[in-house]
Amino acid sequence: MDDINFAVLGTGGIGRRTLEVSTHKDGLTPVAACDRHGVAVNHDGLDVAELLDATEGNIAGDGTGDTDSETRANDDRVTDGGTAVKQHGDGAGIVASTQGTPTETPIDDIIDESEDIDAVLLALPNLEHDFIPRIAERFADAEFEGVLIDVLKRSRVIGMLDEREATLTDAGITFVCGAGATPGLLTGAAALAAQSFVEVEEVEIWWGVGLKSGYEDNRGTVREDIAHLDGYDIETAREMDESEIEAVIEAHDGVLEFDDMEHADDVLLERAGICDGDDVTVGGVLDIRQDEKPTTTTVRVTGRTFDGERGTNTFQLDDATSMAANVNGPALGYLKAAVRRNRAGDYGVFGPAELMPGF
């Protein structure tokens, strides 16, 4: 397979770890990255170590959550959902790196370079439901021909991408949605486990995450997860300031438990023909203060076999594998698979249960 040049939009926890993991993968060259304040581009390959060192230990943005939806819709600078902007000294984010250039139009700057980019990973918290779909439209409008990968979580966003599938297909874009851990790796595992059955009755996904890098490096991810707690939704979570977020964390002693989340695994398994979305439940435990996983990540697929037996296939992740390993590794694997599809002329919107990631 030919080498792949790729870009990362957003340099919060997911974006930073994507760049780091890519240095351990064959055939992948990160050539561009951006946040709301800056962009770094080098078609021979970014110096990932320098970029990460320059932004390590940064704190998030102003804590307001940037709740003005009209501003968010029209302002290029809000490339990370408004909650995970990295700051460092007198500079902010990527501009702290020697490779960074200040800009007020980071996404447009990446698009301008996209003729030499095979794939773009959108590491952007989706704190408005149509935020990622609108970004995809912008790449299509700019006649980008290549791959877009996202690790989005919410079920309803898949429909918004499906509504734009004709636009993406006409542009020559292969979009893989929900390509992280869950949805993503665990969605694919459920699809494989389901092959033993002629009828799938239930899929249960239960995840455990310990944030080794802590809240400071994962503010956008934590804010998105809080939206799944009882009494909260995407709108209220977006409007919370940093002190309110930290109060929620404190009230739960740093451990957040989620039951029956609105997670895109349901839609993605249904579109792959595995089961009805109503038969999928997702929940888990997030420990923001400890490295260790608070519970073992497990997928259970229950169904009926062709000879009338009823059984449950179980898939587990080892407790030693980190969130970054289980999100960014699969995301890059799906990126590789999508590039193969794209180069073969296979365009449109795909879910992780519809293709296997490349190693």
Q: Mind listing the pLDDT tens digit for each residue in 323-335?
A: 889 999 999 999 9
pLDDT higher than threshold 50 for residue 165: yes
pLDDT higher than threshold 90 for residue 295: yes
Determine the 3-state secondary structure of 325 from DSSP. helix
What are the backbone dihedrals phi and psi of residue 103, each rounded to the nearest 5 degrees, phi first?
Answer: -160, 155
Is 221 annotated in a binding site? The answer is yes
Residues assigned a catalytic role: 153, 224, 228
Four-CA torsion 116, 18, 358, 189, nearest 10 degrees: -140
12-22 residues labelled b (16+ CB within 10 A) or e (exposed): bbbbbbbbbbb
State pLDDT tens for residues 204-236: 999 999 986 666 667 777 888 888 888 888 888
Task: Calculate ∠ Cα 239-103-154, nearest 5°.
Answer: 35
What the block records as the tokens of 24 is: 């351990």
State pLDDT tens for residues 252-275: 999 999 999 889 999 999 999 999
Residue 51: CA atoms inside 13 Å, Cβ hemisphere, count? 29
Nearest to 23 by CA among 48, 50, 1, 58: 48
Residue 213 CA to residue 227 CA, distance in Å, equals 21
pLDDT higher than threshold 50 for residue 67: no
Is 23 annotated in a binding site? The answer is no
Give the number of other CB atoms < 10 A from CB of residue 276: 12
Mean pLDDT in residue range 185-210: 97
Quick one: pLDDT at residue 290?
85
Quick one: pLDDT at residue 33?
96
Task: Determine which helix (DSSP H) or strand (DSSP E) holds 221, and give its type and residue range.
Answer: helix 219-226
Q: Which of 3.40.50.720, 2.40.40.20, 1.10.1740.10, 3.40.50.970 would CATH assign to domain 4-182+324-354? A: 3.40.50.720
Is 303 annotated in a binding site? The answer is no
Mean pLDDT over each residue of the chain, to the nearest integer: 87
Angle at which helices 219-226 and 242-251 cross, to 10°: 70
Higher pLDDT pick, 62 / 245: 245
Is 29 annotated in a binding site? The answer is no
pLDDT higher than threshold 70 for residue 125: no
Mean pLDDT in residue range 56-66: 43
Dihedral sign for Cα atoms in the order 41, 46, 48, 54: negative
Q: How confident is the model at residue 92 (pLDDT cuts 50, 70, 90)?
A: low
pLDDT higher than threshold 80 for residue 90: no
Is 226 annotated in a binding site? The answer is no
Is 38 annotated in a binding site? The answer is no
C-beta separation of 94 from 39 below 8 A: yes
Quick one: pLDDT at residue 286?
94
Quick one: pLDDT at residue 323?
86
Task: Calculate ∠ Cα 280-282-286, nearest 5°.
Answer: 175
Dihedral sign for Cα atoms in the order 43, 173, 277, 195: negative
Is 173 annotated in a binding site? The answer is no
Quick one: pLDDT at residue 217?
65
Nearest to 81 by CA among 122, 9, 131: 131
Q: What percent of the chain has pLDDT over 90?
A: 67
State pLDDT tens for residues 271-293: 999 999 999 999 999 998 888 89
User: Where does the chain hold its CATH 3.40.50.720 domain(s)?
Assistant: 4-182+324-354
Indicate the range of 74-83, 99-108, 130-139, 155-164 predicted with least confidence.
74-83
Q: How confident is the model at residue 238 (pLDDT cuts 50, 70, 90)?
A: confident
C-beta separation of 171 from 138 below 8 A: no
Mean pLDDT in residue range 102-127: 91
Quick one: pLDDT at residue 50?
95
In terms of Cβ atoms closer than 10 Å to its own Cβ (0-12, 13-18, 19+), residue 85 is: buried
45: left (phi over 0), alpha (psi -120 to 50) or beta: left
Longest alpha-carbon distance in the chain: 68
159-194 residues labelled b (16+ CB within 10 A) or e (exposed): ebbbebbeebbebebbbbbbbbbbbbbbbbbbbebb
Nearest to 206 by CA among 273, 296, 136: 296
Mean pLDDT in residue range 13-40: 94
Q: Is the pTM value of this prediction over 0.85? A: yes
Mean pLDDT in residue range 76-102: 61
Quick one: pLDDT at residue 57?
55
